[in-house]
Amino acid sequence: MKKPSLLFLLALVFLSSLQAQKSVVQETKAARDARMAWWRNATFGLFIHWGAYAVPAGVYKGKVTKEIAEWIMETENIPTSEYEQYVRDFNPTKFDAKAWVKTAKDAGIKYIVITSKHHDGFCLWDSKVTNYDIMEASPFKRDILRELTDACKEAGIRMCFYHSIMDWHQPDAESKAEYGHQNTPNPDWSRYRETYLKPQLVELVKNYDPGVIWFDGEWIPEWTEPQGKDLYQFLRTMKPDLIVNNRVGKGRKGMSGMNAYEDAAGDFGTPEQEIIEGTADSDWESCMTMNDTWGFKQNDTNWKSSATLIHNLIDIAAKGGNYLLNVGPTAEGLIPQASVERLADMGKWLKINGEAIYATHSLKQYKEGNDLKFTTSADGKHGYAIVLKNEKEVKISNLKPRKGSAIKMLGVAKALKYRTQTDGSVVVTMPEKLPCDHAWVLKMVM
């Protein structure tokens, strides 16, 4: 397929901006619910932080950085000309998009969000807007986003892109506040936004048709909520069914990620490395690492256990959110084995218990104590009590099964024994033989 020329992209930006001013993206609740449906039902996504920072992998001049690995250019104050050598060394010959997507599919993942461009400015797709991309600046010369998008399409997984507003490589994007690398005398932020940021987003939306654009790097002073609102309108006018996170503007309250004000631009909140307390009246997605870094870091072996990852997923689903769990592939193009193993464990658990996680609804009373969480089926006909600790008996008060109906454990054929207490609670006897590790789902008719 012929790629649009830069001139065409700029013309498209200009016309779309005009159109965006005119046609504000008005949306009824029903239309918004329809647009968000696949994302809400998906519940579990894979975050992928991959780029030239995988080459140093957290080590610069023999020193191990204490910071997250994808920030090495900034935290070790690496001059741009030196950092560009990592781009020239980025040649992930073991990269296999189909293998990555199979790992995700087998894990029960429903969508993938990959860094199209992180703060360092290096682009993982064939961009006509810059040569600082995988085709011209690295020896790899394969369109990674194209290969992943095609593999996702084949596997029925939605492809989505992370995109950093902050850009440490573009001279006009130099931020007053920090991250200065170019020492550009008079950086022209609006020129960067109109002739670089927007045209690249047009390429990503027009050529790859992503389900979500996941913005980041919005905290710099050059970026403002009005620009975020304009960018949101611009994107939604170009692709009305697109979903965009709240980091397109300035609405999020720091790492807690939820909106600080009503009309913040974007479709969902983005708690980072944390899960919100309780449920929320708005859409949200917790993004978290499996160890302590987003980009690959050769010596970060502080891996969360599979039990912790599964319990996080259960807690998030019970609170009505999505879980965006990160992997940081190596410079060779491999997902770390420790991540692959944990994803496989999650997939095994979801194969038996996914009915209680995907496309479910949350309850205000989403838990009892620390070891019992609840979800309900979208049609309200079934309730799921998810038991996190294996005891002989489990007392359930928040869900009241229909009188005389059976209570079953997902993965176990025979109905479970239970008795109803005078207060209406039920005490269920757990089966001797459990169908899986880490957590067990009691399904009841409501």
- Residues at the site binding ligand FHN, with contacts judged by CB under 6 A: 68, 70-71, 216, 272, 287, 294
| 21 or 302: CB nearest ligand FHN | 302
H helix and E strand count, the chain: 11, 18
CB of 334 to ligand FHN, least distance (A): 20
| 203 or 272: CB nearest ligand FHN | 272
DSSP E strand boundaries for 250-350: 285-288, 322-327
Q: How many residues does the chain have?
A: 446
CB of 383 to ligand FHN, least distance (A): 33
**Closest residue by beta carbon to ligand FHN:** 294
Q: What does the alpha-carbon distance between residue 92 and residue 54 come to, in Å, rounded to a whole number? A: 10
CB of 1 to ligand FHN, least distance (A): 30
Pairing assessment for the beta strands 382-387 and 440-445 based on DSSP bridges? antiparallel
Q: In sequence order, what are the residues at sequence separation of 6 or more whose Cβ sits closer than 8 angstroms to the Cβ of residue 131? A: 137
Q: Which of 297, 256, 289, 255 is nearest to 71 (CA)?
A: 297
Q: Which helix (H) or strand (E) element contains residue 33? A: helix 29-42
Lookup: tokens for 411: 């993965």
| 272 or 315: CB nearest ligand FHN | 272
CB of 275 to ligand FHN, least distance (A): 14
CB of 138 to ligand FHN, least distance (A): 20
Rounded to the nearest 5°, which phi and psi values hold at 141?
Answer: 50, 40
Give the amino acid at 91.
N
First to last CA, the chain: 52
| 13 or 287: CB nearest ligand FHN | 287
Q: What does the alpha-carbon distance between residue 292 and residue 273 come to, in Å, rounded to a whole number? A: 9
Q: Which of 53, 208, 71 is nearest to 126 (CA)?
A: 208
Q: Which of 226, 244, 247, 227 is nearest to 235 (CA)?
A: 244
Q: What does the alpha-carbon distance between residue 324 and residue 288 come to, in Å, rounded to a whole number? A: 6
Contact 140, 190 (CB under 8 A): no
CB of 159 to ligand FHN, least distance (A): 18
| 53 or 366: CB nearest ligand FHN | 53
3-state secondary structure of 216: strand
CB of 223 to ligand FHN, least distance (A): 14
Instruction: Please compute, for residue 61, the number of CA atoms within 13 A of its CA located in the half-sphere on the CB side.
Output: 7
Q: What is the CA radius of gyration of the chain?
A: 23
Contact 314, 308 (CB under 8 A): no
| 124 or 416: CB nearest ligand FHN | 124
CB of 442 to ligand FHN, least distance (A): 35
CB of 175 to ligand FHN, least distance (A): 13
Distance of alpha carbon 45 from its chain centroid, rounded?
A: 6
Lookup: tokens for 315: 């807690």
CB of 68 to ligand FHN, least distance (A): 6
CB of 166 to ligand FHN, least distance (A): 8
Q: What does the alpha-carbon distance between residue 440 and residue 446 come to, in Å, rounded to a whole number? A: 19
3-state secondary structure of 24: coil
| 242 or 287: CB nearest ligand FHN | 287
Crossing angle between the packed helical segments 97-106 and 144-155, to the nearest 10 degrees: 40
| 97 or 166: CB nearest ligand FHN | 166
| 13 or 331: CB nearest ligand FHN | 331
Contact 401, 407 (CB under 8 A): yes
| 189 or 294: CB nearest ligand FHN | 294
| 4 or 180: CB nearest ligand FHN | 180
| 244 or 428: CB nearest ligand FHN | 244
CB of 40 to ligand FHN, least distance (A): 20
